[in-house]
Amino acid sequence: MKTYSPKASDIQRQWWVLDASDRVLGRVATDAARLLRGKHKAMFAPHMDTGDFVIIVNAKKVRLTGRKAEQKEYIRHSGYPGGLTRIGYDRLLEERPSLAVERAVKGMLPHNRLGRAMAKKLKVYDGPEHPHASQDPKPYEAKELSR
């Protein structure tokens, strides 16, 4: 029996809308990463981009559990001496909530050219509006465990 490997012509991409209102950041990110990778499809192959497009709306309403808002930091470095910049997640969620969600999702994708191609299919918006109505996106129903 031969192993099935999907061809580029076999892949059909859908558009999904995830609403991040009052949901935990990590739960939203795992749902988005799963859809971007294509793990929800029967034709999933780890060496190919079989995933769908994902639109995340209401990123400003995402929440963090515990004391992560005060303790977690967004860190970047310019590459120059003394070029380290640290921003707390409480400030980041106020100023650029879409960046916080994007970074959470990108951290769950492969860290290579395949992951970068998958990340291009992610669209994050702070409010409930998005300009992708013509793609006819379907709402994604999260199957979370109640806590």
Q: Which helix (H) or strand (E) holds 25?
A: helix 25-37
13-62+113-141 maps to which CATH number? 3.90.1180.10
C-alpha distances out from residue 8 to 2, 47, 111, Å: 18, 12, 21
Domain boundary assignment for the chain = 13-62+113-141, 65-96
| pLDDT surpasses 60 at 130 | yes
pLDDT tens readout for residues 27-65: 999 999 999 999 999 999 999 999 999 999 999 999 999
Confidence of residue 4 (pLDDT cuts 50, 70, 90): confident
pLDDT tens readout for residues 80-120: 999 999 999 999 999 999 999 999 999 999 999 999 999 99
